[in-house]
């Protein structure tokens, strides 16, 4: 996922068993992973506990500002579809060249849409 004009990318991994989305970005000044990200996407899709989630994930450009946030969002975002719910959600995340604390940053839902009716 692109993070900024003068920076590189972030990489994200979705744990399909837990619904946790993990990510990290490399700081081009230090050549180290200096920012981490984590968000549990499972509750965002509103599935009942007995439904096994089926995710599809991709990344792309967002180039948005997040209202009410003091942190600068990355230029890219993460798009996740869950096939049982028939829903797609777009997630934004903050990025800065300054090294961050060891705690992972949360991701924020930007918007979503329904691509099909819920599977019963």
Tell me: the pLDDT tens digits for 11-59? 999 998 889 999 999 888 888 888 899 999 999 999 888 889 999 999 9
Neighbouring C-beta atoms of residue 26, cutoff 10 Å: 17
Residue 120 — pLDDT band, cuts 50, 70, 90? low
- On whether residue 35 sits in a domain, the answer given is yes
Tell me the residue range of the domain where 48 lies: 10-114
Instruction: Tell me, yes or no, whether 3 lies in a domain.
Output: no
Of the two residues 69 and 111, the one the predictor is more confident about is 111
Q: Is residue 106 part of a domain?
A: yes
Note whether residue 4 is domain-resident. Answer: no
Instruction: Report yes or no on 2 lying in a domain.
Output: no
Sign of CA dihedral 89, 80, 85, 16: negative
Number of domains, the chain: 1
Average pLDDT over residues 112-116: 94
Q: Are 24 and 11 in contact (CB under 8 A)?
A: yes
Helix, strand or coil for residue 81?
A: strand
CA 67 and chain centroid, separation: 17
Mean pLDDT of the chain: 88
Q: Would you state the pLDDT for residue 67?
A: 65
Nearest CA to 112 among 84, 73, 86? Answer: 86
Longest dimension (CA), the chain: 50
Task: Indicate whether 20 belongs to any domain.
Answer: yes
Residue 5 within a domain: no
Cβ(93)–Cβ(79) under 8 Å? no
Comparison of pLDDT for 18 and 112, the residue scoring more: 112
How far apart CA 5 and CA 28 sit, in angstroms, is 11
Q: What is the band of 101 on the pLDDT scale with cuts at 50, 70, 90?
A: low
């Amino acid at each position: 996922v692109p993070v900024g004009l003068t920076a590189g990318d972030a990489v994200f991994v979705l744990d399909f068993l837990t619904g946790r989305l993990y990510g990290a970005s490399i700081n081009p000044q230090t050549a180290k992973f200096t920012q981490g990200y984590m968000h549990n996407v499972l509750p965002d899709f509103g599935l009942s506990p007995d439904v096994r989630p089926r995710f599809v994930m991709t990344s792309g450009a967002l180039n948005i500002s997040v209202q009410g946030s003091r942190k600068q969002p990355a230029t890219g975002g993460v798009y996740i579809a869950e096939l049982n719910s028939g829903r797609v959600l777009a997630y934004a995340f903050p990025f800065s060249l300054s090294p961050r604390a060891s705690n992972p940053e949360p991701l924020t839902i930007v918007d979503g849409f329904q691509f099909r009716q819920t599977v019963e």
